Amino acid sequence: MAKQNPFKYFKTSPEVIRLAVMMYVRFPLSLRNVEDLLHERGIDISYETVRFWWNRFGPIFAANIRRKRIQSLRAWSNHKWHLDEMYVKINGEIHYLWRAVDHEGEVLEALATKRRDKKAALKLLKKLIRRYGEPEYIVTDKLKSYCAAFRKLGLTGHECEGRWINNRVENSHQPLRRRERAMQHFRLMRSLQKFASVHGSVHNHFNKERHLYSRQNYKDNRNAALAEWQQLCAN
């Protein structure tokens, strides 16, 4: 059965929709900032249209990217996970965003919860194992909830604990924090979950770690990532 074209009933070209979604998710811009930047390019749309596009196509694009990432990660099992949680205020109430990154700093999973306990840690680990299989090492910040979840899943021999060795995931919070400030925080937990999942996949796609490459190699990788983005969901 052929896949349905997600752009089928939209008058706007897919190129414009992809550009708007990329600008809003990837960069710390508000909806109105994206509207103004597109206007400078001769594209006249409302910020509410940008909101609708990102809500409609963001998860579709993210799922497409994630599917390819999972296939590459499953090809080799000697990988390491870094787990951490960050505080997020929603309507003045503290919530928690559990995040997992791999040894290269790319986001594997994000999970929004109301509590910071064993149940939440167990849910995160089950999602990770279901998608990527078991890792060789899991690095945490000594939170007791992780230890209880490891015992439940039989992963007690995989954990690594330490104060500084988990900087990989703690540094990865920064792009999401910048986006949170630009959006003037989240108002619903499901909005946090949705945006964190989409943002993680888009960040992975364009994060080429420029400090590891020469200028020419970085430009080539960046052009390849942009060309691949422009072909997402293309028939």
Number of helical H runs and strand E runs in the chain:
8, 5
pLDDT along the chain (235 residues), means of 10: 78 94 94 96 95 95 87 66 92 93 88 94 93 87 89 84 79 90 88 94 85 83 91 78
Give the pLDDT confidence score for residue 5 in this predicted structure. 85
Six-digit token string for 1: 């059965």
Integer angstrom CA distances of residue 112 from 6, 30, 97, 105, 189: 27, 22, 4, 19, 7
- pLDDT recorded at residue 162: 67
CA distance 140 to 191: 26
Burial of 118 (0-12, 13-18, 19+ CB in 10 A): middle
Predicted TM-score (pTM) of the model is 0.88
| CA angle, residues 130, 55, 229, in degrees to nearest 5 | 70
For the chain, the structural domain boundaries read: 14-73+209-229, 77-187
Going by C-beta distance under 8 Å and a sequence separation of 6 or more, which residues neighbour residue 226? 206
CATH fold of 77-187 reads Nucleotidyltransferase; domain 5 (3.30.420)
Q: What is the pLDDT of residue 109?
A: 93
